[in-house]
Amino acid sequence: MQFDLTEDQRSFQEMARNFANNEILPNAEEWDDQSIFPEETLRAGAALGFGGIYCRAEHGGSELTRLDAAIIFEELASACPSTAAYISIHNMASWMIDRFGNDDLRARVLPKLMVMDHFASYCLTEPSAGSDAASLKTRAVRDGDHYVLNGAKAFISGGGRSDIYVVMARTGEEGPKGISCFVVENGTSGLSFGAQERKLGWKSQPTSSVQFDDCRIPVENLVGSEGQGFAIAMAGLDGGRLNIGACSLGGARASLEAAKSYMAERKQFGRRLDQFQALQFKLADMATELEAARLMLHRAASALDGKHPDATQYCAMAKRLATDTGFSVVNEALQLHGGYGYLKDFPIERYLRDLRVHQILEGTNEIMRVIIARKLIG
Amino acid sequence: MKVLVPVKRVVDYNVKVRVKADESGVETANVKMSMNPFDEISVEEAIRLKEAGKATEVVVVSIGTAQSQDTLRNALAMGADRAILVEADGEVEPLAVAKILKGVIAEEEPGLVLLGKQAIDDDSNQTAQMLGALTGWPQATFVSKIELGDGSMEATREVDGGLETIKVNMPAVVSVDLRLNEPRYASLPNIMKAKKKPLDTKAAADYGVDVTPRLKTLKVSEPPARAAGIIVGSVSELVEKLKNEAKVI
Ligand SMILES: Cc1cc2nc3c(=O)[nH]c(=O)nc-3n(C[C@H](O)[C@H](O)[C@H](O)COP(=O)(O)OP(=O)(O)OC[C@H]3O[C@@H](n4cnc5c(N)ncnc54)[C@H](O)[C@@H]3O)c2cc1C
């Protein structure tokens, strides 16, 4: 068992940390406040390889491991969880095309995705199919050299702005086996978007519904084979859940650091806050739980890299633990700031709002328990 | 033309340095170390010269412990072609560094040596000047702009009065200042590729240089804590205090 990062991983971490501190952190408050999607910064990151961290090198991916990605996402999220999480979604959707798409499709869409000239979205959730994603109703009907899509997706990150939509739609029977995966390019007639959602957090990225009204796409845009779509969507989510978990670790770590510095300055009852043992114990617990969640997450990432048969369960466990721990750490960090933690003058409330949704999306934490329990009980 | 870039591993600029309990120096155990920021600028400039077709090869060299390999790998990840580590333990003073570099120059025959104007650990600001003297090459120090010509270069120097542009014949020794460029981040694929680039290891003795320090450090101590400031009520009170308390006017 090896717990230390390799020399390469330390270099990735350091580079991602410098990028996060210099290019993201100084702007994160403004992006949050004014709901700015930071395209230029995303492209600057993509030039360093963040656009396709675990995509193959052939079309410009960085070809790193899931563990490398987890290390990188923690660093990016320490500056802005929302922006890091969008990069994660872009990576997940791009990887699905890279891993399961045909060579022509890959050659056509990946080069622009890798440099983030184009942005990608992942479209699974529907208004009536959230946790029960396999009950989705969007249909794709073959018509000669085309598929014709009809239906609607909800809560799509990047919706309205993304250039490439990776869409799960029904081509066959009810249930997971009747679902296929497609690439729909923005500008295709019949593709439209709802209004931008007004959200608690994740404000540096757009979210909207996506509609398909007789939306015709060429058959080459089928990713994998007919009926394989749900398996592809779930394979994407294994990695997505690791990344989201890592984003919670990063946001929580930054909050813990902020609490530590605040407590070293703030005095009450004639003493610095960090001299109260009750508060020191709180910091000790936060640091311990964060480290435990990180170990679990890195273990799950290694399992996915090693194609371990239980990788999906490990990813679900890690997503559940890292996102719950991440939220409780940022919540405690806010408490340690007293009333100031509730003000926008301090960054804690932004991290709190951003980290909350990690317990809900890419499968709610209840659904993570469903996945784990299914394995336990059979 | 080959460009030689010496780089130094120093305590990271974000670290709050602490003096060792025995006052022999600053604490470096378990402290984050990085490439000297001025050296990042010289590496960046060398890579830009290569990208512009004005240099053929960028060779980085570091004199220090085995851990200086990390610093060299970092320069390779930014885009340098090849690295040389000259292993030496303990403190190596600017004169010894310059002598070793002279040996490296004899082997490598670069057309240009780009150094940081100083290292942020000891702030000596001596190595480039000493190297210029030892090699007998022209030197341009504190450079914020480089314009390569045919067999010569125009260097813009940051001097107290403003900017000074000088022409030096090549080969030359150049020390770079902060405003020359903004160093790039090493990309993920380039970090991977850096591992496969050649890194030769040598010893100071290979260049016949004795690195024993010529200076003896008596004591390293913390700067005195800053006293609290005061708010003055008027200009005349300020002048009075500057005259009689601070005694600066
Ligand atoms: C900001 C944001 C961005 C998003 N981005 C995307 C995106 O890019 N692409 C995408 O496809 N989706 C996206 N989603 C959708 C997200 O994945 C869903 O919201 C999530 O899967 C939950 O579905 P739901 O909202 O319909 O809740 P529901 O499924 O209705 O769940 C409601 C509650 O019931 C619980 N519950 C449901 N079933 C069970 C069960 N069997 N056992 C126990 N508890 C259960 C849930 O855990 C939850 O607490 C995003 C959501 C948000 C908020």
CA distance B184 to chain A (A): 10
* Cα gap A163→A149, rounded to integer Å: 17
A40 catalytic per annotation:
no
ipTM: 0.91
Residue type, A212: F
Cβ B113 vs Cβ B102: under 8 Å: no
CA distance B143 to chain A (A): 25
Pairing of strands B139-148, B152-159: antiparallel
A21: enclosing H helix or E strand? none
pLDDT in tens, B63-116: 999 999 999 999 999 999 999 999 998 889 999 999 999 999 999 999 999 999
In order of their start, the domains of chain A are: 7-115 (1.10.540.10), 120-227 (2.40.110.10), 230-377 (1.20.140.10)
pLDDT in tens, A248-260: 999 999 999 999 9
Per the DSSP assignment, residues forming a β-bridge with B166 are: B155
In order of their start, the domains of chain B are: 2-223 (3.40.50.620)
Q: Do A64 and B188 touch (CB under 8 A)?
A: yes
Q: Which residues of chain B are within 8 Å of residue A18 when distances are taken between CB atoms?
A: 185
pLDDT in tens, A90-141: 999 999 999 999 999 999 999 999 999 999 999 999 999 999 999 999 999 9
**pLDDT category, A301, cuts 50, 70, 90?**
very high
Q: What is the pLDDT of residue B229?
A: 86
Q: Do B188 and A57 touch (CB under 8 A)?
A: no
A48: enclosing H helix or E strand? none
> Who's near A2: CB < 8 A, 6+ residues apart?
none
Residue A317 has pLDDT above 90, yes or no: yes
Residue A322 has pLDDT above 90, yes or no: yes
**pLDDT category, B225, cuts 50, 70, 90?**
confident
Helix pair A277-305, A66-79: axis angle to 10 deg: 140
Cβ A239 vs Cβ A297: under 8 Å: no
> Who's near A42: CB < 8 A, 6+ residues apart?
A83, A86, A87, A116, A119
Task: Give the residue-averaged pLDDT of A175-193.
Answer: 98
User: What are the CA-CA distances from residue B239 to residues B234, B236, B248 (Å)?
Assistant: 9, 5, 10
Q: Which residue of A has its CA nearest to B74?
A: A11
CA angle (A290, A296, A297) in 5-degree steps: 85
User: What are the CA-CA distances from residue B13 to residues B33, B37, B122, B220, B243 (Å)?
Assistant: 9, 8, 12, 19, 37
CA angle (A245, A246, A252) in 5-degree steps: 90
* Cα gap B235→B239, rounded to integer Å: 6
**pLDDT category, B230, cuts 50, 70, 90?**
confident
Q: What is the pLDDT of residue B228?
A: 82
Q: Which of B40, B33, B36 is nearest to B70 (CA)?
A: B33
What is the helix, strand, coil percentage profile of chain B, to 5?
30, 25, 45
A186: enclosing H helix or E strand? none
CA distance B31 to chain A (A): 14
Instruction: State whether the Cα torsion B124-B128-B130-B131 is positive or negative.
Output: positive
Ligand 1 centroid – CA A127 distance (Å):
10
Chain A interface test: which of B35, B40, B191 (most A C-beta within 10 Å): B191
* Closest atom, ligand 1, to C-alpha of A133: 21
Name every protein residue with a CB atom under 6 angstroms from any ligand 1 atom. Answer: A 89, 121-125, 130-131, 155-157, 199, 202, 207, 357, 360-361, 363-364, 366-367, 370
Which of A58, A197, A362, A366 is catalytic? The answer is A362
